Amino acid sequence: MAGLIRDARRRAGVTQAYVGRQAGLSRASIANIEAGTQAPPLYRLALIAVALNVQPAELLPPLRPDEAAGLPARHAADVAAVWAQAAKMRDGHGEG
């Protein structure tokens, strides 16, 4: 995630301070997020995405279904459900 946020910020041509102001964080927090030493909660990630004019999903690394095996059971089930819904939508059988 860290590199994706940094790359998106650079493409947008904005500073860490700008992104921080837009997301309600300090410049130092944005620097830490970009360095991978701090992870933003999802609502802040959404605000960072807005500041960078990208979709929040663009700031997240891809997750393959088999990677969910190492997650706690509750999270693995959530990931599996999302993958199942995405597959339905891709096949034209879901809503969206």
Tens of pLDDT, residue by residue, the chain (96 residues): 779 999 999 999 999 999 999 999 999 999 999 998 998 888 999 999 999 999 888 888 776 666 666 677 777 777 777 767 666 766 665 444
Please report the pLDDT score of residue 96 as a whole number: 43
Give the whole-angstrom CA distance, residue 3 versus residue 58: 11
The pTM of the full predicted model, rounded to 2 decimals, is 0.67
Query: What pLDDT does residue 75 have?
Result: 72
SS3 state of residue 1: coil
